[in-house]
Amino acid sequence: MSSIKIELRPEDVAKIKEICASFNNDPQELINVLHKCQEHFGYLPAEVQEVVSGELKVPVAKIYGVVTFYSFFTMTPKGKHPISICMGTACYVRGAEKVLDEFKKELGLQVGQTTGDGKFSLSSLRCVGACGLAPVVLVGDKTYGRVAPDDVKNILKEYE
Amino acid sequence: MQILVCGGTGCRDLESEAILESLKLEVEANALENDIQVVRTGCFGLCSLGPIVKIMPDDVVYFKVKHGDAREIVEEHVIKGKKVERLLLKDPVNNKSLVSSAEMNGFKKQLRIVLRNCGVIDPENIEESIAHNGYEALGKVLTEMTPDDTIKVIKDSGLRGRGGGGFPTGIKWEIARKNKADQKYVVCNADEGDPGAFMDRSVLEGDPHAVLEAMAICGYCIEADKGLIYIRAEYPLAVARLKTAISQAREYGLLGKNIMGTGFSFDIEIRYGAGAFVCGEETALIHSMEGLRGEPTVKPPFPAEAGFRGKPTNVNNVETFACVSPIILKGADWFAGIGTARSKGTKVFALAGKINNVGLIEVPMGTTLRDVIFEIGGGIRNGKKFKAAQTGGPSGGCLTEKHLDTPIDFDNLIAAGSMMGSGGLIVMDEDDCMVSVAKFFLDFTVEESCGKCSPCRIGNKRLHELLDHITKGKGTLADLDRLRNMSLVIKDTSLCGLGQSSPNPVLSTLDNFRDEYVAHVTAKKCPAGKCRDLMEYFIIAENCVGCTACARVCPVNAITGQRKEPHVINPSICIKCGACKEKCKFDAIIVQ
């Protein structure tokens, strides 16, 4: 599983239990539970999954299976400013790949990685539905439209 | 008078909320708040021209509005009745200002049934929906029609599922009705996963009540009292508007127990997807709602027999549901009178890619691709040449110039080697390499394949590898046959719709653009100039002044030469990054 070992604080464990209880510890609510946990922790480390497993009475292997199946769930912490490049078809034909390459070059990251200082993480996603603005880049909640590779440096500068 | 401001995702990303606020402030500053309503609506469908502001009842549309324009709009238009010329769209032919939406070519050939209220009503106010016939069809069904009557109307209308498959909706409802059980479910599939498609999102953001009402009608027909909407967690705005709509509908007694005092009860819950394309497949979607990995299972049993929690479940797509109420109110004959022989009604398309008017459109079935791209879509960007239109997303295929005059409907698209899909329509121009496009879609399929059956899991991976080889100049002619054979096997043997359709982009590009594939494998050239490994950078000696700018910027020192003398690029070192070409001020560097 995840290479990051973390120690959950008692209040973290309590929070997970509270989330599970709010869904009546129903195993069929697993995905909703995981959504809430990720909202709280920012990611879903193995330790969190273990607690969920105990509460919902679902084997941790099954939970791991679900977490890794869905692209929305992640087991590595995202950066303070998560950068997502839309690789939907509309963005792709308007040059999203070159924008992504530029981010990779500037940050020295591959997709799915986070910078050493935890500041930026890089991911690609499939269509945010803002195809009129293609290619689209998201930094946190902020959307940048019609991004050209030349804009990348300036976007990053905003977060320095 | 009403000032409508588009609150769709595209316009919101361009800060239409700030425009809304400024307009409200201006209206208040002029003490007009009793006469002028400033309303946030759903998508107008003109995403590339956003943010959009529309003044009603004048029917004047302003484009690319900034929040600094609010004062001028209020003072000039609202108070003095003079149009703000500079914010009007200009006719590309005679440069005359186009005032009303009726004058725009983009709207002339459209017919809005599904999008009837998008960009017209405030989606966060149920009363506006009701004022536009919202829940009238539900009332009619509950008080005047039996479930069988209702199903007959839907069957007679010829409505087919808009999610991609095109299965007749009335028959689906009938099957679910016939299966007796103590509990049944109505599911709305809002897991819009096709990249480049945003039809369902726009409907949910612009007119959520249309979907809720139709789900309740379906519940009445199949005797279900529970509805579930499975929606992508990536659509926060649509989720928020659905939640608001559901709670307002409950408040008004249009959802919940004993609806309109008729004794019929129906309530709706939201379930979240978590980013898996395969969950658009109904059995996979149901597993996902049960908290499992979204893997499809063999049909039969169909969801209508044993679906969510093993109970009969009817799954329809957002757009299908959005067609239901107008059919009930206007009759089956009206709907059946629109479209072609076997595809009735309209279809919403999300136009995107290399097209001038990116946005959401709705046209009668049977409209030609030419009308969609050149009339409504305003043609290709930057005056480039049309090359292909991709429909059906990763499951579909490419339509080319020879298909421009084919009427678009379910059957014609399949005959052309593509499919309707959910309605994404991506336009490509002469600069797009079709081998790369096929590779792009396979890249998607490989990532999204759930891994349950081997033809899809392994086969698509192999297809992707072959395509990758070809784009890197390592392919052979034999690989082209291999691509075709493997594609056919994957189509025949995969478990679910994902694998059965995933080779379509390969087959259709092979059929329509074989020359391009051949150029990649024999001449090792990419005619569109997209495949980086097949490009070579040259310095034209006559143009080179020897400024050394290129040599200094080259990251791998592939460029050599004396100062003030022509430089040369060593192709065996060059990594084709293009940095030199960008730097050269004398156009001395070319790509071949």
Cβ of A69 and B309 within 8 Å? no
pTM of the model: 0.89
Q: Please tell me whether residues A121 and A60 are part of one structural domain.
A: no
Domain span holding position A105: 81-157
Q: Please tell me whether residues A19 and A43 are part of one structural domain.
A: yes
Percentage above 70 pLDDT, chain B: 99
Single residue among B290, B311, B335 that ends a domain in this structure: B335
Q: Please tell me whether residues B355 and B330 are part of one structural domain.
A: no
Q: Please tell me whether residues A24 and A86 are part of one structural domain.
A: no
Q: Please tell me whether residues B389 and B329 are part of one structural domain.
A: no
Q: How many domains does chain A have?
A: 2
B247 three-class SS: helix
Cβ of B352 and A89 within 8 Å? yes
Q: Which amino acid is at A152?
A: V
Q: Give Cα separations from B505 to B383, B438, B475 (angstroms).
A: 26, 5, 18
* Spatial CA neighbour of B8 closest among B118, B97, B113: B118
- Taking the CA of residue A136 and the nearest CA in chain B, the distance in Å comes to 10
Q: Please tell me whether residues A152 and A101 are part of one structural domain.
A: yes
pLDDT digits (tens, 9 = 90+) for A22-42: 999 999 999 999 999 999 998
Cβ of A127 and B288 within 8 Å? no
Asked whether residue B112 is domain-assigned, the answer is no
The CATH code of the domain that includes B67 is 3.40.30.10
Residues of A with CB under 8 A from a CB of B: 26-32, 34-35, 58, 65-66, 69-73, 87-94, 125-134, 136, 143, 145
pLDDT bucket at A137, cuts 50 / 70 / 90: very high
pLDDT digits (tens, 9 = 90+) for B53-109: 999 888 888 999 998 999 999 999 999 989 998 998 887 667 777 777 767 766 778
Q: How many domains does chain B have?
A: 5
Asked whether residue B52 is domain-assigned, the answer is yes
Asked whether residue A3 is domain-assigned, the answer is no
Is the pLDDT at A1 greater than 50? The verdict is no
pLDDT bucket at B136, cuts 50 / 70 / 90: very high
Q: Please tell me whether residues B438 and B425 are part of one structural domain.
A: no
B569 three-class SS: strand
pLDDT digits (tens, 9 = 90+) for A118-132: 899 999 887 777 788
Determine the residue among A32, A72, A126, A147 to mutate to test chain B binding: the one whose Cβ has the most chain B Cβ atoms within 10 Å: A126
Determine the residue among A127, A137, A139 to mutate to test chain B binding: the one whose Cβ has the most chain B Cβ atoms within 10 Å: A127
Q: Which amino acid is at B451?
A: G
Q: Please tell me whether residues B68 and B44 are part of one structural domain.
A: yes
Q: Please tell me whether residues A62 and A89 are part of one structural domain.
A: no
Which of A70, A71, A133 is the closest to B13 by Cβ?
A133
pLDDT at site B105: 65
Rounded CA-CA distance B54/B196 in Å is 26
Give the distance between the most distant pair of CA atoms in chain B: 91
Q: If residue B37 lies in a helix (H) or strand (E), which one and from where to where? A: strand B37-41
Backbone angles phi, psi at B493, to 5 degrees: -110, -5
Q: Please tell me whether residues B503 and B540 are part of one structural domain.
A: no
Q: Please tell me whether residues A90 and A63 are part of one structural domain.
A: no
Q: Please tell me whether residues B238 and B311 are part of one structural domain.
A: yes
Q: Please tell me whether residues B467 and B410 are part of one structural domain.
A: no
Cβ of B14 and A133 within 8 Å? yes
A contacts of B201 (beta carbons < 8 Å): 129
Asked whether residue A4 is domain-assigned, the answer is no
Q: Please tell me whether residues A85 and A126 are part of one structural domain.
A: yes
A contacts of B276 (beta carbons < 8 Å): 69-71
Asked whether residue A5 is domain-assigned, the answer is no
Which of B291, B309, B358 is the closest to A30 by Cβ?
B291
Asked whether residue B228 is domain-assigned, the answer is yes
Contacts of B340 (CB under 8 A, 6+ apart): B365, B366, B407, B409, B412
Q: Please tell me whether residues A141 and A121 are part of one structural domain.
A: yes
Asked whether residue B117 is domain-assigned, the answer is no
Q: Please tell me whether residues A27 and A88 are part of one structural domain.
A: no
* Average pLDDT in chain A: 90
pLDDT digits (tens, 9 = 90+) for A68-111: 999 889 998 888 999 999 988 888 888 899 999 999 999 999 99
pLDDT digits (tens, 9 = 90+) for B434-449: 999 999 999 999 999 9
Single residue among B101, B135, B156 that ends a domain in this structure: B101
Q: ipTM score of the complex? A: 0.86
Q: Please tell me whether residues B211 and B62 are part of one structural domain.
A: no
Q: Please tell me whether residues B214 and B322 are part of one structural domain.
A: yes
A contacts of B292 (beta carbons < 8 Å): 30, 66
Q: Please tell me whether residues B384 and B470 are part of one structural domain.
A: no
Measured in whole angstroms, how far is the alpha carbon of residue A136 from the centre of its chain?
A: 17
The CATH code of the domain that includes B283 is 3.40.50.11540
Task: Give the position of tokens 């994404």.
Answer: B424
Asked whether residue A141 is domain-assigned, the answer is yes
pLDDT digits (tens, 9 = 90+) for B308-358: 999 999 999 999 999 999 999 999 999 999 999 999 999 999 998 899 888
Is the pLDDT at B11 greater than 90? The verdict is no
Asked whether residue B217 is domain-assigned, the answer is yes
Measured in residues, chain A has a length of 160
Asked whether residue B272 is domain-assigned, the answer is yes
The CA-based angle B363-B368-B374, given to 5 degrees, is: 90
Backbone angles phi, psi at A83, to 5 degrees: -105, 125
SS (H, E, C) B361-408: EEEECCCEHHHHHHHHCCCEHHHCCEEEEEECHHHCEEEEHHHCCCEC
Asked whether residue A75 is domain-assigned, the answer is no
Single residue among B377, B407, B429 that ends a domain in this structure: B429
Asked whether residue B274 is domain-assigned, the answer is yes
Single residue among A43, A69, A95 that ends a domain in this structure: A69
The CATH code of the domain that includes B452 is 1.20.1440.230
Domain span holding position B399: 346-429
The CATH code of the domain that includes B406 is 3.10.20.600
